Structure 1
Amino acid sequence: MTDRKKGKMAPEDPAAAADGQAPAPYIPLRDVVIMPGVETKLVVGRPHSVAALAKAQGDGDGLAVFVTQRRGEVDQPRLKDLYSHGCLARIVRDEEGDGGVHAIVVEGFERVEILRLAAGAERSRIECVYRVRPTTGADGAEARELADRLRALLPPQARRVKASDLGRFADLVALDIAGTLGVAGMQGILEASEVSARLRLLLAHCDQERDIDHMAESLLNRSDYDAEAHRREYLQRKAVDIQRSMGEEAAADLEELTRKVEEAGMSAEARAKCGEELARLGTMPSMSPEGSAIRSYLDFMLELPWRERSAGEISLKEARRLLDERHHGLGKVKARILEHIAVQQQVGAGRGSVLCFVGPPGVGKTSLGEVIAAALGRRFARVSLGGIHDESTLRGHRRTYIGSMPGRILKVMAETGVRNPVIMLDEIEKLGRGHNGDPMATLLEIIDPEQNRHFSDHYIEVDFDLSEVMFIATANSMEPMYDALEDRMEFIHLPGYVDGEKIEIARRHLLPRQQEAAGLGGCELEIGDDTLRDLIHSYTFEAGVREFDRCLGRLMRRTVLEQERAGEREAPPQLAIGTAKAREILKAPWLPNDLQREDRPGVVNSLVVMNDMFGDVHQIDGVAIAGDKGVRQTGNMEPMLAQSAETAEAVLRASHARYGLAEDYFDRNGIHVHWPIVDASGDGNSAGLALFVLLVSAANGIPVRMDTAMTGAINLRGEACIVGGLREKLMGACRRGVKRVLFPQIQERELQDVPQEIKEQLELVPVKTVAEVLKHALTRLPAPAKPPARKERRPAPPPGQPPARPPLGA
């Protein structure tokens, strides 16, 4: 707060400052007039006014010209928007509040005439050139006579105004009756530099007010006067005037809407529907709720792209550059995308198959869609489908419902403004089913090129052509996919990144972005591959790079914080972060490698794929229990995994002797199998081989090699069968430090899709039968069980003779 000394300033002081027409800051006012000789409280908040206020106080004298706007709704008034006269005033007090708003008190001194705005781009915004208009005729006989007549007409509270100067007397009276004078009346008093002219204006106003009061009093005294009827008649006249004015505006608005509908390029069906709605709108009051709903409908119909298209050129070269620049690795994925773009370039159309990128979070599915849109020269939009259970979310609500709105697809079309955008349908597998229709069936109509030419949205009630839209979908997995929906899409699988790819992505993309975000963009960062690999193994558990990116961000932010604590404001020219430093910042690793590493019976490393397509190693435990029967299971009892255990038990019972078990082993003993409590429901029945090894190991007490993991289904003949997610499982084994992996020989051809880095770190052993699996998984093979001794059978006695008795003592 700043307080200036409240002293009576001589009138000639401000005039002297303006003799040379020196510019002074000016502050425009809304609905208030500053009068000389009076203190007035104001609120200043517009940027122009705040700048002028600072200029006035910065010059040291605190003087500014306060001038009233002709129209208060103008936010940035120009010279023509201001009255020609204002008041030169000193800023007595200035108190700044929230949001940069200033509460000020000003004291008026002189009437001034605004000549022009000061020259210069900056000065013209806050300074003006003015001329002082001194008061004249304050001691004349006419002025004294008019002042006496005015005192007689004033109300009792206004008669107490005392002033020896008749000019000041007129100003004070004007302020006292400002409520009836209004802004225009007050401005007239301010512009009158001659005292007699001010008094005549005040006398005329008082005479008019007195006549109105006498008329009202006489009407009230009449016995036949009905005040309520007079009020109703007055309101009716005003209502007619308002309706006439609004009718003219509504007619003009209706004509404008009709013109826009005709020029929008709508289909014949849509144009006819809008014509019906325009006819209904013309018969309704403009403020009726139904009229507002019709207007909203027409506005949305005009927002839809009926004929606008993206005119960009398809560039295969640009697509290749963007893919290599934004994504590291993903060779087969990039090749398929380039094939798709090349076909679009060749045929010049967008009616191809719907691509669906399937992969774990953080591998770049959405950014691939953006690259495709950029290469095709089209606009890109994203629609998240996760959690949608209502058909109307996609197809829109019928307009008979309150609060109805169009579906999400047409909303996106209106936002893009073109008929041929690239729309990414994100998390398509998370589209649910509810009691309000089947959104999955609606999505079939949206993406099917044979149906979406006549897509029907409940809100617009006419067909809209979606055939030029290029739809791209994303999913984390395919298991919950609708069969009919799966049939209409081409799936491109994006596997997770291996360590080398993550390190390269960090150096190309993640580290530069995190450095820039933390204000360290100018320093040279030194962080070794060993440190990055330790972050990947100890602090992240993902197939993509999102958590890895967050770890790098924490390193950068903590580095900045340590610099601030040390008093260093500028980024260092070089910054080195080693493994020890990174662990000191990120604290203890939250991903301890908890796998059992010592060979022991009844523990098997099984490779699984999580629901987010992330490979991992799960250790299945088993223990033989004497006196129990059969195989008992606890833990994550998924149906397919339980079937794998039953199949493995059946294979072992059928060949029990070969694997060292007596025929009645499972009648006298049981094996308790425990599954890890994890979400591996997407793994199916690929644990068959691991379960067979577990049963043989637990029953015979033979340790299982802990440097070995395995995956593969099993049939009743003991053969290793094909499983899914082999690449992801091998990456999980590599991440967990496994040295050797057993997998079905029938899948040996899939190794060509496995990164070379994984092949170099793992010993990959293809197997055909459970017997081969045991050779590689157990520390030793079980000795075959001896068949039981057969009892000697005595010959039967001849017919008619009793059986021979055994000798005594036998």
Structure 2
Amino acid sequence: MTKQKEAFVPLLPLRGMLVFPTMVLHLDVGREQSVQALEQAMLTDHLIFLTTQKDTAIDEPGEEDIYRVGTLTKVKQMLKLPNGTIRVLVEGLSRAKMKSYLVKDDFAAATLELFEDDTEKDVEIQALMRTMLQYFEQYIKLSKKISAETFATVADMEEPGRMADIVASHLPLKLQDKQDILETFDVNERLSNVIEIIHNEKEVLDLEKKIGQRVKQSMERTQKEYYLREQMKAIQKELGEKEGKAGEVAELTEKIENAGMTELAKMTALRELDRYEKVPATSAESAVIRNYLDWLVSLPWTKATKDDLSIHKAEKILERDHYGLQHVKERVLEFLAVKQLTKSLRSPILCLAGPPGVGKTSLARSIAESMGRHFVRISLGGVRDESEIRGHRRTYVGAMPGRIIQGMKKAGTVNPVFLLDEIDKMSNDFRGDPSSAMLEVLDPEQNRTFSDHYIEETYDLSKVMFIATANDLGTIPGPLRDRMEIITIAGYTELEKIHIAKDHLLPKQIEEHGLTRSQLQIKEDAVKAIVRYYTREAGVRELERQLASICRKAAKIIVAGERKRVIVTEKNLEELLGKKKYRYGQAELEDQVGVATGLAYTTVGGDTLQIEVSLTPGKGKLILTGKLGDVMKESAQAAFSYVRSKAEELKLPNDFYEKYDVHIHVPEGAVPKDGPSAGITIATALVSALTGRPIRREVGMTGEITLRGRVLPIGGLKEKSMSAHRAGLTTIILPKDNEKDIDEIPDSVKSDLTFIPVTHMDEVLGKALMGEAK
């Protein structure tokens, strides 16, 4: 390398590119300082110094921001483009090293030390040139990105330095590597460096070719996606990178370690993770294993919320959300009190049983809030597949955990309040019996090791507070019912419904309909009339619907501009809700012969039944109508047999059953009716019809009868008493053994009723019938 004289020329910094000597290429110049430098070069000898910026992000580079070694070039052509950019054609002349840097008249200039390559070729240089040409030819064959004409041009060059520069300009090198070659002034060293670079690039291309061949052998003809994934895997293997599936495995490993699962579950998870790592990503089994691992790490194994054991706070929340229901509230407060003392009490398994609309579901939500626990609800209505509870085995397509495990994942803690809604609506078929699967869930001795078919590993449910709801306990299998603590919610009295409407339902409906309390007022007498004449239910759902109807009509009146304020009283209630739907008080208006009032218990609360008996001349046939169940038909036959056995005492002809056909009818024939508690009612109606003695209209009765006239106990006395009160009855005849259940009846109902406990049918007839036999 020989030095030439120094030169003082304008300086043009380049971004992201480099120019070698003897290269001819186009440049687009846009920066103001660079344009000034270019114009200065055109005014003098067309010479300009091109050097590369160290950082391409800098818009106005200084002396420290550019490399000191660059290329002295000559501007061959300059063209101004419409967007203000100048396009120039430059030709590299020689290497140059900046000795001094000067900013002059808004452009940069530099004093340069120029270098020219030695053109002498000794034996070593010739050998290096030949080696470089050989490697370059092999590289071109592998790369297929450089044309054969380019190689022919390079092969014809005589200058070794120029050959090295041209070859380097055609290689896919980083800018820093090209700068290093530019700064290599010694021709021998430059040739050696370029040869080493070509050799390395050639090895990389060889490796790429091997990888491509390896992937191609394992690829099916039409699986382009598979080919790309395998190629990525092969590249990562050669480079030793931990990306793709390896990174996913590392992430899952960390999640498994931090999940807090049991040792056995952790071992299973790690074993499945090892399988997942070995299975191809495109395999169907890979997705199955990944889904299983996701379920394992997302389940709460140890995370729990801290129980808020403040009894006063819990009592305040329960009283705020629900009126009445003292027995349930008391049970929750007892649990909190005992837990505050023991710190380790197992959560109870409660079953709230009662008619629809009495607030069972919302009560469970309030219990969760009062304890500071998360709340999760699943509906069991219509569930008839055991897999819905225990999950599907992973061998099945689309397998999923059961609803219990799904609920635990949704809760996110090991101690939520878990509501099993409508547990009495589960059924069974050929797919299994879900109620039997619930036995393990609701058994405190077993649910600490609950096993889901999908998860397979045992899961602890002992910290969960399970609350079930049911309308009819009769449809729940005995073993399942035995595992739960039954709390019966009979329904609301008229007074309770009025309070609930005023304090809860009405404010809620006013807010939902965009009204204010000043725009709509419903007087207490109107609320009482709605309860009496527009609803007949144990709960308050229909009551809420009627209040919503009033709110809608009030909104229409106000929006239409008819009135700014709507006040609802009993007098104008019919204008808003129409004619009364029900007659308050179902008791008969007068004492009648052969018509007795029975008390019934249904899944929607208590109700009253009118049992009618009619005698017609015949041959002693017993006719039963009114869609009666088998048990009720047997009660009628037992009552008839009792009356025949007591014919003499009742002053009836001994052959009365041979002269008359007895027709027993229970109105509302479309409604199915069954149960033994109508026994004494049927017997009373029979005796009344046969003897002609009227039955007191204010008396309701319930009790099972034997052939000898004994009165046996029944269930649902609380619900039946409330229905009697609602119907306007004043006296209830009940079995002596049910006397203990009177305490459960609300005081507002109990104070208006007279209870007559009896042990034998003779007592019933004495209290229910009037006058003497005709």
1:193 to 84, 97, 100: 84
1:610 to 578, 586, 602: 602
Post-superposition offset of 1:378? 1.8
Aligned equivalent of 1:277: 272
CA contact (8 A) 1:610 1:679 kept: no
- Tell me, in whole angstroms, the C-alpha distance in 1 between the residues paired with 2:372 and 2:549: 37
Structure 1 counterpart of 2:675, one-letter code: G
- Tell me, in whole angstroms, the C-alpha distance in 1 between the residues paired with 2:665 and 2:443: 46
**Larger Rg computed on CA atoms:** 2
- Cα 1:626–1:258, aligned 2, differ >3 Å: closer, same or farther? same
Post-superposition offset of 1:402? 0.5
1:333 to 320, 325, 328: 328
- Cα 1:524–1:563, aligned 2, differ >3 Å: closer, same or farther? closer
Q: Secondary structure at the match of 1:479?
A: helix
Post-superposition offset of 1:349? 2.2
* C-alpha distance after superposition, 1:449-494 (max 9, x if no partner): 2111211111112111112212122211211121111222211111
Aligned equivalent of 1:718: 709
CA contact (8 A) 1:647 1:716 kept: yes
CA contact (8 A) 2:629 2:673 kept: no
* C-alpha distance after superposition, 1:598-621 (max 9, x if no partner): 433222211111123x11111112
1:520 to 515, 519, 530: 515
CA contact (8 A) 1:312 1:376 kept: yes
Post-superposition offset of 1:292? 1.3
- Cα 1:237–1:542, aligned 2, differ >3 Å: closer, same or farther? closer
Aligned equivalent of 1:582: 573
Post-superposition offset of 1:397? 0.4
* C-alpha distance after superposition, 1:387-437 (max 9, x if no partner): 111111010101110000011101111111111112121222222222122
Aligned equivalent of 1:552: 547
Post-superposition offset of 1:516? 1.0
- Tell me, in whole angstroms, the C-alpha distance in 2 between the residues paired with 1:443 and 1:762: 42
- Cα 1:680–1:245, aligned 2, differ >3 Å: closer, same or farther? farther
Aligned equivalent of 1:623: 614
- Cα 1:237–1:321, aligned 2, differ >3 Å: closer, same or farther? closer
Alignment of 1:163-242 (within 5 A): 167=82, 193-194=84-85, 196=87, 241-242=231-232
- Tell me, in whole angstroms, the C-alpha distance in 2 between the residues paired with 1:478 and 1:253: 50
Aligned equivalent of 1:638: 629
Post-superposition offset of 1:664? 0.8
Alignment of 1:748-763 (within 5 A): 748-763=739-754
Aligned equivalent of 1:403: 398
Q: Out of 317-326 and 291-300, give the one that drifted further.
A: 317-326
Matched, 1:541 2:536: yes
- Tell me, in whole angstroms, the C-alpha distance in 2 between the residues paired with 1:630 and 1:305: 68
- Cα 1:489–1:299, aligned 2, differ >3 Å: closer, same or farther? same
- Tell me, in whole angstroms, the C-alpha distance in 2 between the residues paired with 1:263 and 1:356: 36
CA contact (8 A) 1:422 1:469 kept: yes
- Cα 1:460–1:727, aligned 2, differ >3 Å: closer, same or farther? same
Post-superposition offset of 1:595? 6.4
Aligned equivalent of 1:790: none
CA contact (8 A) 2:390 2:451 kept: yes
Post-superposition offset of 1:584? 1.5
Aligned equivalent of 1:370: 365
Aligned equivalent of 2:101: none
Q: Secondary structure at the match of 2:572?
A: helix
CA contact (8 A) 2:733 2:758 kept: yes
Matched, 1:444 2:335: no
Structure 1 counterpart of 2:295, one-letter code: F
Aligned equivalent of 2:129: none
Post-superposition offset of 1:758? 1.6
- Tell me, in whole angstroms, the C-alpha distance in 2 between the residues paired with 1:687 and 1:565: 54
- Cα 1:754–1:312, aligned 2, differ >3 Å: closer, same or farther? closer
Q: Out of 762-771 and 353-362, give the one that drifted further.
A: 762-771
Aligned equivalent of 1:296: 291
Matched, 1:663 2:654: yes
Post-superposition offset of 1:702? 3.4
- Tell me, in whole angstroms, the C-alpha distance in 2 between the residues paired with 1:724 and 1:680: 20
**Aligned-residue identity in percent:** 38
CA contact (8 A) 2:353 2:487 kept: yes
Aligned equivalent of 2:173: none
Aligned equivalent of 2:495: 500
- Tell me, in whole angstroms, the C-alpha distance in 2 between the residues paired with 1:753 and 1:563: 46
Structure 1 counterpart of 2:85, one-letter code: E
CA contact (8 A) 1:609 1:725 kept: yes
Q: Out of 314-323 and 391-400, give the one that drifted further.
A: 314-323
Gaps of 5+ in 1: 1-82, 85-112, 114-139, 145-165, 168-191, 199-211, 217-228, 784-810
- Tell me, in whole angstroms, the C-alpha distance in 2 between the residues paired with 1:246 and 1:659: 103
Aligned equivalent of 2:53: none
Post-superposition offset of 1:350? 4.0
- Tell me, in whole angstroms, the C-alpha distance in 1 between the residues paired with 2:576 and 2:749: 30
CA contact (8 A) 1:604 1:693 kept: yes
CA contact (8 A) 1:396 1:407 kept: yes
CA contact (8 A) 2:680 2:703 kept: yes
Q: Secondary structure at the match of 1:468?
A: coil
- Tell me, in whole angstroms, the C-alpha distance in 1 between the residues paired with 2:338 and 2:672: 38
Q: Out of 524-533 and 649-658, give the one that drifted further.
A: 524-533
Structure 2 counterpart of 1:455, one-letter code: F
What is the TM-score of this pair, normalised by structure 1? 0.66
Post-superposition offset of 1:213? 13
- Tell me, in whole angstroms, the C-alpha distance in 2 between the residues paired with 1:758 and 1:587: 29
Aligned equivalent of 1:305: 300
Aligned equivalent of 2:641: 650
CA contact (8 A) 1:608 1:683 kept: no
1:465 to 460, 465, 478: 460
CA contact (8 A) 1:611 1:680 kept: no
Aligned equivalent of 2:351: 356
Aligned equivalent of 2:175: none
Aligned equivalent of 1:162: none
Gaps of 5+ in 2: 1-55, 60-75, 90-143, 149-211, 238-242
- Tell me, in whole angstroms, the C-alpha distance in 2 between the residues paired with 1:678 and 1:493: 29
Aligned equivalent of 1:599: 591
CA contact (8 A) 1:623 1:698 kept: yes
- Tell me, in whole angstroms, the C-alpha distance in 1 between the residues paired with 2:566 and 2:339: 47
- Tell me, in whole angstroms, the C-alpha distance in 1 between the residues paired with 2:674 and 2:528: 27
- Cα 1:293–1:238, aligned 2, differ >3 Å: closer, same or farther? closer
Aligned equivalent of 2:282: 287
- Tell me, in whole angstroms, the C-alpha distance in 2 between the residues paired with 1:418 and 1:297: 19
Alignment of 1:706-785 (within 5 A): 706-783=697-774
- Tell me, in whole angstroms, the C-alpha distance in 2 between the residues paired with 1:384 and 1:544: 20
Structure 2 counterpart of 1:671, one-letter code: V
Aligned equivalent of 2:21: none
RMSD: 3.4
Structure 2 counterpart of 1:600, one-letter code: Q
Post-superposition offset of 1:723? 1.5
- Cα 1:238–1:658, aligned 2, differ >3 Å: closer, same or farther? closer
